[in-house]
Amino acid sequence: MKEMSFGGEKMTLRRYPWLKYADDLHVEQLQAYEEGYDTQGLEAEIAAIQALEASEPEREERAGQLLDRTAQLPRRSGYAYREPSDLEGIQLERPDLRFPVMKAPTGRQLYDKLYGAWLGRSAGCLLGQPVEGWKRERLHGFLKETGNYPLQSYMSSDVPEALIGKYEIINEGQVYGSSFINWINNVRHMVEDDDMNYTIIGLSILEKYGFDFTPDDVADSWLMNLPILRTCTAERVAYKNLVNGIEPPRSASCRNVYREWIGAQIRADFFGYANPGHPEKAAEMAWRDASISHVKNGIYGEMWVAAMLAAAAVTDDIERIVQAGLAEIPKQSRLAEDIRTVLSWRREGIGWEETIERIHLQYDEHKSHHWCHTNPNAMIVAMGLLYGDTDLQKSIGLAVTAAFDTDCNGATVGSIVGMILGAQALPEKWIAPLNDKIVSGVDGFGLVKISELAERTATIVSANPYVQI
């Protein structure tokens, strides 16, 4: 072991891959540049660090020191975006027009919408999970050769031998608690996924800490209920920071090259579920959650989705729902600009295939920083909603067909459409394979009925003092 300086504090470096920084320094270079910092000279320094042997302690020590310095880099002149991470700063930078607070549905209608959101999220996640990480060429080829383009059904590994070899189809492989890749022929209920774990932990946070929970409460809930190996990228770095005594909001930024990646956006849903008709409160709760692991556009993605879900409980106007989310994030942010771009393409009559092509031209799926960044995936979510015609199959199908982070985007789109339609209106072909059950890696849940999660959510909504009943 080696004691290192850790952003001004001391930590002990153990020989675990999630405590290492050097391999992803190129992500920091891109991230810092996109945030408007002057990154001249970083490329040569990164190359020198990465040229060191992986076993050499100096490699990680120098990498950590570089990350500490990039946080202090000067801004480039002419940077056009205004992107605060604190709640007050974010709210000051929002558009002037707010989505009005509206009365929430009640009784059976409320339960049906919440159940629909849980089911839709599960279906979209399950659709995208077996092809997560596939690039567009491989995914589209597989879909077309199996007669499933555009997507009309869950994907199966039960395909001709020639396709198994051509597209490298496998069944065995560790995915959270499962030892199988979750093709539809391998599942008997909704499987564990980080997208669903975070929705469940949102429920746990509200049940334990109430409506005025803090970022510290979120941090405590993770440490108590979510093993570190069930977290990824920004969440794993934040988890490590928390364990080492680095508290929110610094836990989000300290040596976290993934600070604008999609992790917070996939944690948004429960805060939208809990605040039907009140997008502003949903977004504010989402900020409390996001701020422990993300900054700037990483935070905005979670606020945008939470606000959309709160709006989706009271309107079926998709563009209005997307705008309700935009109303809660800085209008001069990169995320707002990207989502407005998708809205403009739709208004111009650009088709969904061309829209997907344009997203891929703007962001390179072969760069890990782009593949997992909030912004391109939010563009795909907006595309799936705007072109999906409030149809679950079409909406989640488009979100997954676009590639990038397939299970995350399918889950978010399915959640919003499920909220709009309600459980009773969802097609049986997408819901039946779930068998009303989900496996969770969150402590205290295990194998639980999805309908029970919806009931517990409805109980929370009914007690929410911020919601109009």
Q: In the prediction, which pLDDT does 48 show?
A: 96
391 is in an annotated binding site: no
Alpha helices, DSSP H, located in 349-373: 352-362, 368-371
Classify 87-130+190-463 by CATH class.
mainly alpha
- Give CA 335 to chain center in angstroms: 14
Using the 8-state DSSP alphabet, how is residue 338 labeled? H
- Whether residue 309 contacts residue 416, with contact meaning beta carbons closer than 8 Å, is answered with yes
In this structure, the number of other CB atoms found within 10 A of the CB of residue 279 comes to: 32
H or E element in which residue 173 lies: strand 172-175
Q: In the prediction, which pLDDT does 17 show?
A: 52
- Whether residue 110 contacts residue 461, with contact meaning beta carbons closer than 8 Å, is answered with yes
H or E element in which residue 58 lies: helix 57-70
Q: In the prediction, which pLDDT does 156 show?
A: 98
Q: In the prediction, which pLDDT does 18 show?
A: 52
- Whether residue 103 contacts residue 310, with contact meaning beta carbons closer than 8 Å, is answered with no
Using the 8-state DSSP alphabet, how is residue 462 labeled? H
In 3D, which of 426, 429, 446 has the Cα closest to residue 438? Answer: 446
Say which amino acid occupies 181: I
Using the 8-state DSSP alphabet, how is residue 433 labeled? G
Q: In the prediction, which pLDDT does 14 show?
A: 43
Per-domain boundaries in the chain: 2-70, 87-130+190-463
In this structure, the number of other CB atoms found within 10 A of the CB of residue 172 comes to: 8
405 is in an annotated binding site: yes
Q: In the prediction, which pLDDT does 102 show?
A: 97
Q: Is the preceding peptide bond at 249 cis, omega within 30 degrees of 0?
A: yes
Residues of the chain with pLDDT under 50: 1-16
Q: In the prediction, which pLDDT does 179 show?
A: 84
Tokens read off for 304: 């945008």
H or E element in which residue 442 lies: none
Q: In the prediction, which pLDDT does 173 show?
A: 85
Q: In the prediction, which pLDDT does 12 show?
A: 38
The count of C-alpha atoms lying within 13 angstroms of the C-alpha of 137, restricted to the half-sphere facing its C-beta, is: 4
